[in-house]
């Protein structure tokens, strides 16, 4: 089966105009130079007869092209089409970004998706022209390229941080695919390796986004919900504990600076992927505004261009937030969550895992017995792997599984779908804040259906208007 075709004329017009709206949606491969670029590459636009277009960087690399050193494809924002898809391909790509293929192999990735490895390969070839193994390899190579260019990590550390099994494999793969070694790339980037230091060193990486981007709205949302003892946030930065270290996210003019200090650099791929989802960096603001701007939300959309739906670093953590936040204020939920972290935090000050929460006595924290019972049942379904909130399960199936938990209803599952499952059309049914905002703006309930397929963004516009 042939991969889905791109419209050549539309792609070439976007490249000729260096249209940033298409950055991350496709890649331009130049047959004369054997280099592939982003649509915004500042290099001279090649002749139409000398270019080919690919939907994914892995497809370009499989065809024998190497990434441009000027526009740096590793910095492209993600394709919003893949980011929003809840089907097998979309979920598989998110899990690959999260490092699942590096940890479990393609066979393990397929098992997590509850399909055969052969079927997964067939789906990838049909959509992208390459299999999941090639996609995982390209992700490793592009992350390694970014680390070599932007940090002073030793080449050995870069190899393992990017997911390679050995330095020899790393050197061989980069030379075979890109035509240069890691040391040669580092030399051209003007970087020198740092000496080893005791403890985790702080690395800074750039996370590119698709503009417009409502920085103030995203960081204000996270700051108002920051859990004491786990997160610190204001309008200028967001920091939290992550497995084996800490992260800090700081907005810059055209990107988000990620400062990460982790003991095991093999976690970098997961950290980067989850930070992108936390800040909703891969959304398509033009498509969202194109729908919502023509409805009763038009004035709100104009007032907050580039508004995003903040995600989460961990699906279980977000689900606990949703359960604790039922029918109480944001400030009240934050207080209770801080108490849970103070009593049940995992080693390193992390949010408790489902296993840890099951073993912790939550009485005396201000939670009702019914709420405690719901939290325990929620933890149990994740421990038993009946529900996957980190990308492996169809969102509709995950919601159905959550609704079987006593104490979890449509509002809770809607909020979890909106932030953890990344469903752009999720709607927290019965939310009092949304009802107040709609009443104040004179928006009738029947307008909710007009906001599809972007009801999650409609909810954020309404919450932001309070």
Where are the alpha helices (H) located in 113-246, listed in sequence order? 117-128, 132-150, 155-161, 167-178, 182-189, 215-224
431 is an active site residue: yes
Indicate which residue of 211, 259, 425, 431 is catalytic: 431
164: exposed, middle or buried (Cβ count in 10 Å: 0-12, 13-18, 19+):
buried
Residue that is written with structure tokens 């054997």 in the block: 34
Indicate which residue of 37, 41, 68, 275 is catalytic: 37
Residue 385 is given by DSSP the state T
Determine the 3-state secondary structure of 54 from DSSP: strand
Residue that is written with structure tokens 């928006």 in the block: 443
H/E stretch holding 168 reads: helix 167-178
What is the DSSP secondary-structure string of 403-439? HTSTT--HHHHHHHHHHTS--TT---TT-HHHHHHHH
340 near 365, Cβ under 8 Å? yes
Interaxial angle between packed helices 88-97 and 132-150, expressed in degrees from 0 to 180 and rounded to the nearest 10: 30
Tokens of 264: 């095991």
Sheet (strand 231-234) strand order: 202-208, 255-262, 245-251, 237-242, 231-234
Residue 77 is given by DSSP the state P
Size of the chain in residues: 466
Q: Phi, psi (5° rounding) for residue 190?
A: 75, 20
Residues serving a catalytic function are 37, 431
């Amino acid at each position: 089966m042939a991969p889905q075709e791109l419209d050549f004329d539309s792609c070439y017009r976007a490249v000729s105009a260096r249209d940033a709206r298409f950055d991350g949606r496709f890649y331009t491969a130049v047959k004369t130079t054997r280099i592939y670029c982003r649509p915004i590459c500042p290099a001279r636009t090649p002749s139409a007869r000398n270019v080919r277009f690919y939907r994914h960087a892995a497809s370009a690399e499989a065809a024998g092209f190497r990434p441009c050193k000027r526009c740096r494809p590793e910095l492209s924002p993600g394709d919003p089409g893949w980011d929003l898809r809840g089907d097998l391909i979309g979920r598989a790509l998110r899990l690959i970004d999260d490092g699942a293929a590096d940890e479990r192999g393609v066979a393990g990735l397929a098992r997590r998706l509850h399909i055969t490895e052969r079927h997964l390969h067939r789906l990838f070839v049909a959509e992208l022209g390459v299999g999941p193994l090639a996609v995982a390899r390209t992700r490793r190579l592009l992350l390694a390229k970014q680390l070599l260019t932007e940090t002073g990590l030793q080449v050995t550390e870069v190899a393992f941080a990017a997911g390679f099994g050995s330095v020899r494999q790393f050197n061989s793969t980069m030379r075979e695919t890109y035509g240069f070694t890691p040391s040669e790339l580092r030399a051209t980037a003007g970087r020198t390796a740092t000496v080893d230091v005791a403890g985790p060193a702080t690395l800074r990486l750039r996370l590119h986004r698709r503009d417009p981007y409502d920085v103030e709205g995203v960081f204000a949302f996270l700051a108002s919900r920051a859990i004491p003892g786990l997160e610190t946030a204001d309008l200028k930065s967001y920091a939290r504990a992550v497995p084996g270290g800490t992260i800090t996210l700081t907005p810059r003019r055209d990107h988000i600076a990620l400062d990460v200090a982790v003991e095991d650099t093999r976690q970098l791929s997961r950290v980067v992927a989850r930070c992108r989802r936390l800040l909703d960096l891969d959304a398509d603001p033009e498509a969202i505004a194109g729908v919502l701007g023509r409805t009763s939300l038009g004035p709100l959309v104009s007032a907050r261009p580039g508004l995003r739906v903040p995600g989460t670093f961990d699906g279980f953590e977000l689900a606990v937030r949703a359960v604790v936040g039922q029918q109480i204020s944001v400030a009240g939920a934050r207080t209770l969550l801080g108490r849970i972290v103070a009593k049940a935090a995992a080693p390193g000050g992390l949010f408790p895992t489902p296993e840890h929460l099951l073993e912790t006595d939550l009485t005396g924290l201000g939670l009702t017995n019914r709420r405690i019972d719901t939290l325990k049942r929620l933890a149990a379904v994740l421990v038993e792997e009946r529900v996957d909130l980190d990308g492996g399960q169809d969102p509709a199936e995950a919601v159905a599984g959550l609704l079987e938990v006593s104490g979890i209803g449509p509002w809770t599952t809607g909020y979890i779908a909106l932030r953890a499952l990344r469903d752009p059309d999720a709607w927290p049914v019965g939310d009092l804040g949304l009802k107040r905002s709609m009443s104040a703006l004179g928006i009738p309930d029947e307008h909710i259906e007009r906001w599809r397929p972007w009801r999650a963004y409609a909810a954020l516009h309404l919450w932001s208007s309070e």
